Chains A and B, each alone.
Chain A
Amino acid sequence: MAFGPYLLLALMEGLVKAAVLALTAVGLSLVFGVMRVVNVAHGAFFMLGAVLAYTVAQYIPGPAALGWLAALVIAPMIVAAIAAAADTLVLKRLNYDPEATIVATIGLLYILEQAALSFFGPDARPVEAPFTLRLQLPWFGFSGYKLFVILAAIAILLAVWWFMTRTRAGLVMRATQVDRQTARAFGIDVDRVYAGVFALGAALAAIAAVLLVPISQSHYLMGGDPLLLSFIVVIIGGLGSLRGTVVAALIIGISDGVISMFYSPTLAKIIATAAVAMVLVFRPQGLFGARA
């Protein structure tokens, strides 16, 4: 294949990766920003979203689009409820102590993965795409659904931005992020905010997963890669900065697409990890993070 089309394919693949990654990482970044909780179970929430998407789609009769749409609504809601329960039952009892919450979320990760294996089984299960459209370019074909994923991710990220900056709930979250004690003094129910943020973060991971399952498959071990890449993106972008997270997701996603196509996927992972090390050494607050 000639260089031009090759690069085009690499960029398109990279954009799809970046879109899913940005959604997942924004959830992780939000939880860290507001709650100062390093959520190791974030990948498990992603996996849970995918697994539930398959389960929901199985039970909805009629056209594939209907099942997928139902999954897009129901799966994130269930995942959010599980996350809110985990926050109230576990993280709150630990007083959000940083070390204790890391250990607790590792435990949560294992519980969720094992539960998925027990109830969902070990097989990779596909979810039918809401529509099948294949774009035939002169050099290669490309999935229309993949382009839809990019657009959907942009729309959802805009909605998150609007929610955080233009609504009262978003204002309360940002206030809690700046100073938990003062927020409490002003009558904000910090416990409810925390449960809500943890649920929202998990729901974003679940939405990303529902978008992804028609491309990839749901599998109980699928949470590992998104977790690692989300951490990379959040560290590069700056912990707690939504804008930084989106920019970093674009950089990592597209560079991953291009490098893995022209060189090797392993090299792409090496470069991403090396970038994290460089950021931690030279700019520990991340590209867009505020100085601690």
Chain B
Amino acid sequence: MTTKDRNAFAPSRRAVLAGMGAGLLATTGLVRPVMAQGAPLKLGFQLHATGIGASYGRWYQRTADAAAKMINDMGGIGGRPIELIYEDDGTDPKRGAEVVDKMANQHGCELILGTLFSHVVMGSAPRAGELKIPYLVCSEGYHVASGALNRWTLQPGITDVRSQISAMAPWVAANLGKKVTMVFPDYAFGHDHRDFFTAAMKAQGGEVIAQIAIPPTETSFTQYLPQIPAETEVLYHVMVGPGVLTFVKELGEFYGPGNGPKLFGFIDSLEAVDIATPGLEFLEGSHFWEAHNRVKPADAGEHEAAYRAAVGVDDNGASVADATDVSTYSHMFSTWETLFFIKQAMEAAGYTGPADRQKLVETMEGISDLPYGIERPQGAKVFNGKTHQVFGTQTISQVQGGKLVKVHQTSMADGAYDDAVDYTTMSF
């Protein structure tokens, strides 16, 4: 045995002292914050950074970053900090599925969240189900609650289109008119609007007299306008994408200022767009659905200011750094609320790693009441564990002087409908 070997087994005086010092520090609690912060929890965020969803993606990222910062400042999830891993899906379903794979297998994410566009959700959710990784979408599509997806897919941060429409229709029929023409994009999101609004109007004694489907890539709309029947009282529009401004401008040219039917639209059309943009004058006096009022209303909740400050949004709903950078205010809160939902569920489930994923989903399914707070700046919600869908309140705003002014708020009951699926009976 050499001297060197003996030394390896016999700790030096210095090492012993250092070890004792560390032990002392630990017991006195001086290093507890450092000890408690284990390895960060990696949460995968499927982001529309490019493609037609890029305007939304930018604000989804800002909101999620702000929520993650707040959660980490509060001590993380179960004492572990969270780290958001962003991966661009190009707002493309095929790449969406690849991103799910990458998140699960390459980055080692605990779960995936954040997808907005419904076709990307439809393309990605089956892969998440195969990989048995929780997939929390921020999409407002009816595809979760309809039963089309799987046990691993949930939507805890935003109400779905069917519920939004059910809550809106009575107000439209009572205040704007009963003969409605609908203009909607010709894919799943637009079809949800077409089917549910037509049914909801009928229930209110109204009637949808024409349904005009427009291809999602269309850039010019005048050619569709003659299809709007002259007796139309309300024009219901839910166009999405860069062509929306053209749509409104051409409506104005076609009818002329002050003429034509009353307009009711979903703010999806004008998210990230300044309502006071030249060419949008025709919207003056028209009404919009908003989930979360872009222009801070007088009766805003107590956490509204803190939420806006954290995300970096001013009272007009634009970036505090650049007033022309308008947010996607009625959608982006969903990423914030989804992250706090994850925190709540992971802590309740005692989540430690991928082995607990099934337990995590079961815990989420057990969550129901989600009260108003900084965790849910848009408002109180109720999560339905059977349909994996959350329910909340909606608002209707009117364009007054180029600004969206809140005029009506629905109740939680207005947006209720019968369950179409019970995911809890499905296997994992």
- Do B223 and A221 touch (CB < 8 A)? no
B387 at the interface (CB under 8 A from A): no
C-alpha gap A215/B249 in the complex (Å): 8
Checking A17, A128, A219 against B220 with a beta-carbon cut-off of 8 angstroms, the contacting residue is A17
A-chain residues with CB within 8 Å of residue B250 when the two chains form the complex = 143
Checking B54, B218, B245 against A126 with a beta-carbon cut-off of 8 angstroms, the contacting residue is B245
A253 CB to nearest B CB, Å: 11
Name which residue of chain B comes closest to A264, CB basis. B215
B278 at the interface (CB under 8 A from A): yes
Task: Report B38-66 residues with CB < 8 Å from chain A CB.
Answer: 50-52, 54-55, 57-58
Task: Report A34-69 residues with CB < 8 Å from chain B CB.
Answer: 64
A196 at the interface (CB under 8 A from B): no
Q: What's the tally of chain A residues with a CB closer than 8 Å to chain B?
A: 32
DSSP class of A's interface residues: helix, strand, loop or mixed? mixed
C-alpha gap A17/B278 in the complex (Å): 23
Task: Report A120-142 residues with CB < 8 Å from chain B CB.
Answer: 121-124, 126, 128, 134, 136, 140-142
C-alpha gap A221/B242 in the complex (Å): 9
Of the candidate stretches B131-139, B252-260, B298-306, B362-370, the one touching chain A is: B252-260
A182 at the interface (CB under 8 A from B): no
Name which residue of chain A comes closest to B57, CB basis. A122
B417 CB to nearest A CB, Å: 33
What 1/0 flags go to A204-227 for Cβ under 8 Å of B?
000000000001110101100100
Checking B58, B223, B272, B279 against A257 with a beta-carbon cut-off of 8 angstroms, the contacting residue is B223
C-alpha gap A225/B244 in the complex (Å): 17
Whether A134 contacts B253 in the complex (CB less than 8 A), given A9-B226, A122-B55, A216-B246, comes out as yes
Name which residue of chain A comes closest to B223, CB basis. A261
Classify chain B's interface size. Answer: 20 to 34
B411 at the interface (CB under 8 A from A): no
B-chain residues with CB within 8 Å of residue A266 when the two chains form the complex = 215
- Do B222 and A216 touch (CB < 8 A)? no
- Do B278 and A265 touch (CB < 8 A)? no
Checking A9, A117, A126, A128 against B50 with a beta-carbon cut-off of 8 angstroms, the contacting residue is A117
Checking A136, A140, A217 against B242 with a beta-carbon cut-off of 8 angstroms, the contacting residue is A217
C-alpha gap A271/B218 in the complex (Å): 17
- Do B255 and A141 touch (CB < 8 A)? yes
C-alpha gap A261/B256 in the complex (Å): 20
A191 CB to nearest B CB, Å: 36
- Do A122 and B254 touch (CB < 8 A)? no
A-chain residues with CB within 8 Å of residue B277 when the two chains form the complex = 126
A201 CB to nearest B CB, Å: 22
Checking A117, A136, A140, A215 against B246 with a beta-carbon cut-off of 8 angstroms, the contacting residue is A215
- Do A126 and B279 touch (CB < 8 A)? yes
B-chain residues with CB within 8 Å of residue A123 when the two chains form the complex = 55, 242, 272-273
B146 CB to nearest A CB, Å: 26
Name which residue of chain B comes closest to A268, CB basis. B223
A260 at the interface (CB under 8 A from B): yes
Whether A141 contacts B242 in the complex (CB less than 8 A), given A122-B58, A123-B55, A126-B279, comes out as no
A6 at the interface (CB under 8 A from B): yes
- Do A141 and B253 touch (CB < 8 A)? yes
- Do A140 and B50 touch (CB < 8 A)? no
C-alpha gap A17/B223 in the complex (Å): 12
B-chain residues with CB within 8 Å of residue A126 when the two chains form the complex = 245, 277-279
Whether A261 contacts B226 in the complex (CB less than 8 A), given A128-B279, A217-B246, A222-B242, comes out as yes
B217 at the interface (CB under 8 A from A): yes
Task: Report B271-313 residues with CB < 8 Å from chain A CB.
Answer: 272-273, 277-279
Task: Report A3-52 residues with CB < 8 Å from chain B CB.
Answer: 6, 9-10, 13, 17
A281 at the interface (CB under 8 A from B): no
A185 at the interface (CB under 8 A from B): no
B75 at the interface (CB under 8 A from A): no
- Do A141 and B223 touch (CB < 8 A)? no
A207 CB to nearest B CB, Å: 18
C-alpha gap A126/B279 in the complex (Å): 8
C-alpha gap A162/B86 in the complex (Å): 54
- Do B223 and A265 touch (CB < 8 A)? yes
B126 at the interface (CB under 8 A from A): no
Name which residue of chain A comes closest to B250, CB basis. A143
Whether A216 contacts B256 in the complex (CB less than 8 A), given A122-B54, A123-B272, A124-B245, comes out as no
B-chain residues with CB within 8 Å of residue A260 when the two chains form the complex = 223
B123 at the interface (CB under 8 A from A): no
A2 CB to nearest B CB, Å: 10
C-alpha gap A261/B278 in the complex (Å): 27
Whether A265 contacts B215 in the complex (CB less than 8 A), given A123-B272, A143-B253, comes out as yes
A89 at the interface (CB under 8 A from B): no
Task: Report A236-258 residues with CB < 8 Å from chain B CB.
Answer: 257
Task: Report B52-93 residues with CB < 8 Å from chain A CB.
Answer: 52, 54-55, 57-58
Whether A142 contacts B55 in the complex (CB less than 8 A), given A126-B245, A126-B279, comes out as no
A1 at the interface (CB under 8 A from B): yes
- Do A124 and B242 touch (CB < 8 A)? yes
B-chain residues with CB within 8 Å of residue A140 when the two chains form the complex = 225-226, 254
B253 CB to nearest A CB, Å: 5
Between A and B, 9 residue pairs with Cβ closer than 8 Å are: A9-B223, A13-B223, A124-B243, A134-B256, A142-B254, A216-B220, A221-B52, A225-B219, A261-B223
Interface contacts beyond A13-B220, A215-B246: sample of 19 additional A-B pairs, CB < 8 Å, sorted by A: A1-B226, A9-B222, A10-B223, A13-B222, A13-B223, A64-B278, A122-B54, A122-B55, A124-B242, A126-B277, A126-B278, A128-B278, A140-B226, A143-B253, A216-B246, A217-B243, A221-B242, A222-B242, A225-B217
Give A contacts to B, CB under 8 Å. Answer: 1, 6, 9-10, 13, 17, 64, 117, 121-124, 126, 128, 134, 136, 140-143, 215-217, 219, 221-222, 225, 257, 260-261, 265-266
Closest 7 CB pairs of A and B: A122-B54, A124-B242, A219-B242, A261-B223, A1-B226, A143-B253, A128-B278
